[in-house]
Amino acid sequence: MNIYETKTMGERLLGNAYAGRGIVIGKTEDGKNAAVAYFIMGRSENSRNRVFTLKDEVLYTEPYDVTKVKDPSLIIYAALRKYENKLVVTNGDQTDTVYEYLKAGKCFGSALATRDFEPDAPNFTPRISGMLTFGEGDFTYEMSILKSIDEKGSATARHLFSYPAQNGLGHFIHTYVKDGNPLPTFQGEPERVYIPSDMEVFAKDIWESLDEENKISLYVRYTSLADGSYKDICINKNQA
């Protein structure tokens, strides 16, 4: 087993009908951009009734058909937002928790110490989060997963990972190992993935590798390390 093996996103997602929600952070192969990707999947009608929208540089999940919304608490939230030199991406309303803590001069880890996994027994969906911190022409990034310590949801296990940016390397964390009932929680460290220089190639590899029936939306952003400008791609199955 090669613990430093790096695979494409297509290889990581191959044959996985339900990875749930996923975050990818890394640096492009040419060293010019910081890359972030976030995708959502869904099995229920309520979960599938969503689209990504970008408003004032904040990425939101919103209902596609408001008349069909049953429970908005865990599916409608700000998924990505920026504060000063930091870019935060998460799979829930902990985005706002981190944002408020940053505004108060506190850190990513202390914000997430106040949160737990999602209260959706028996799955106890993990809260996954990431944050990029930009500096002089480069960046570092952190990733986190908050998950149930057992099948009863009796306590929260908290895992925090920190990385230097390396050309062509990214890390991928997702909520579930695969489909199941209950859904099996992600295990281990974030997975090493290849980050190509071409954003369209990267987005296509992810989108086309997600299960056709269960995929909902994908957002990809490449931020220039030279001037901080960014380009993005947003794909919504419901608006195809």
**Amino acid residing at 154:** S
Instruction: Identify the residue whose tokens are 């919103």.
Output: 62
Quote the pLDDT of residue 240: 67
Model-wide pTM > 0.95: yes
Instruction: Give the CA angle between residues 157, 165, 102 to the nearest 5°.
Output: 55
Question: pLDDT under 70 in the chain at which residues?
Answer: 240
> CA 37, CA 96: separation in Å to the nearest integer?
18
Tokens read off for 238: 């419901």
Give per-residue pLDDT as tens, 157-213: 999 999 999 999 999 999 999 999 999 999 999 999 999 999 999 999 999 999 999
Pinpoint the alpha helices (H) of 115-198.
none
Domains of the chain: 9-239 (3.60.20.20)
What distance separates the 2 farthest-apart alpha carbons in the chain?
50
